[in-house]
Amino acid sequence: MSYSPSFSEKVLDEIKTAPQVSVIVPIYNEVESLEALVDLIAQTLIPTQRPYEVICVDDGSKDGSTALLKTLAQSRKDLSAVILRRNYGQTAAMAAGFHQAQGQFIISLDADLQNDPTDIPQLLAKLEEGYDLVSGWRKYRQDAALTRLLPSKIANWLIGKVTNVRIHDYGCSLKGYRAELLADMNLYGELHRFLPALAFIEGAKITEIPVKHHPRRYGSSKYGLGRTLRVLMDLLTIWFMQKFLTRPMHVFGSLGLTSMGLGVLIGAYLTFVKFAFNQDIGDRPLLILVVVLLLAGVQLFSFGLLGELLIRTYHESQGRPIYRVREVVSSIE
């Protein structure tokens, strides 16, 4: 009779081999750095004896990254390749990786070797200390001063002001997260860089640590000033959502009631004047104000109700995926 492991033995075995750490890398035309990157991650994580997996998400590359990734994923036991159907952008690519991840700790970093995989153990140490999110801070960032450093300084300041989560470097892709934190995050647009702020809203414990940063060795940056604008728009949306749209009725409803209340008060005053002092009020400008305030009140109130409805449908419709997977290549058991 062949030996069949008991259920608990199987579970134990799984716990032993299931990845504890998932490293997520979004990839758009990074063929030159891929092999070096996966090797560096392995060289860093193997000595820590933590079971890990690397999930490379190919975001519609056109430079041969896709083919190389598939070959690597077939031969390496520590690598899965998630191939998206087209280019969806960095946030969507990262979200695809997060959804695929099995680890308890998740690390994200860029494919271009600007982030240094040797910083990963420090991030893991912070997560183990009990933090839910650890953000990398590129203290000595190696990018162009005027087109990259300045806009990002302004962006970090603004985001900090709006969200009340003051960290130095929102834009650093090298971050660590507890898996539970990411499980129910709905990311879209450029939102991956707001993760610390979104996490804070969810009550997460957040910290940052200085990390290394290198100039881009191969290929070119996928971003220019256009992104700064898109990031700004996302920031405005978050601000608006937080302040107004979480409860439209609280804002528009109270404005409407105040307006109606004023209208009623002024109307009562005019009625009093008419009947108590027998004055003619037909030519009083205040009379028009009464009508305007009452109408505006009703409209604002309805606006609030409509807003509530919209927000609810908006949240319910978030189930829609922001990316589509073409195939997953993996020899991770």
Which DSSP category does 21 fall into? E
State in angstroms the smallest separation of the CB of 111 from ligand UDP: 4
CA atoms of 83 and 93, how far apart (whole Å): 9
Rounded-to-integer distance, Cα 285 and Cα 273, Å: 14
Note whether 191 binds ligand UDP by CB under 6 A.
Answer: no
Task: CB nearer to ligand UDP: give 192 or 260.
Answer: 192
Q: Give the one entry of ligand UDP, Mg ion, none that residue 30 binds, where binding means its C-beta sits below a cut-off of 5 to 8 angstroms depending on kind.
A: ligand UDP
* Contact mark string toward ligand UDP, 94..113, x via CB under 6 A: ----------------xxx-
Single out the segment in contact with ligand UDP by CB under 6 A; choices: 6-14, 85-93, 126-134, 291-299: 85-93
In terms of phi and psi (left: phi > 0; alpha: psi -120 to 50; beta: otherwise), the region of 101 is beta
C-beta of residue 81 within 8 angstroms of C-beta of residue 325: no
**3-class DSSP state of 29:** coil
**Angstrom distance (rounded) from CA 69 to CA 66:** 5
**Window 193-232: residues binding ligand UDP (CB under 6 A):** 221-223
Q: How many residues bind ligand UDP (CB under 6 A)?
A: 17
DSSP 287-326: HHHHHHHHHHHHHHHHHHHHHHHHHHHHHHGGGS-S--EE
Instruction: Give the CA distances from residue 250 to residues 162, 201, 304, 307, in Å, rounded to whole numbers and listed in that order.
Output: 20, 19, 8, 10
* Chain centroid to CA 127: 19
Beta carbon of residue 256, minimum distance to ligand UDP (angstroms, whole number):
43
Site for ligand UDP in 150-179 (CB under 6 A): 173
Is 114 near ligand UDP (CB under 6 A)? yes
Nearest approach, Cβ of 203 to ligand UDP (angstroms)? 28
User: Quick one: what does residue 223 bind among ligand UDP, Mg ion, none, with the CB cut-off 5 to 8 Å set by partner type?
Assistant: ligand UDP
User: Which does residue 111 bind out of Mg ion, ligand UDP, none, counting CB within 5 to 8 angstroms by kind?
Assistant: ligand UDP
CA distance 297 to 161: 33
Nearer to Mg ion, 168 or 227 (CB): 227
**CB of 134: closest distance to ligand UDP in angstroms?**
19
Which residues in the 15-44 window bind ligand UDP by CB under 6 A? 26-28, 30
Residue ranges in contact with ligand UDP by CB under 6 A: 26-28, 30, 59, 87, 89-90, 93, 110-112, 114, 173, 221-223
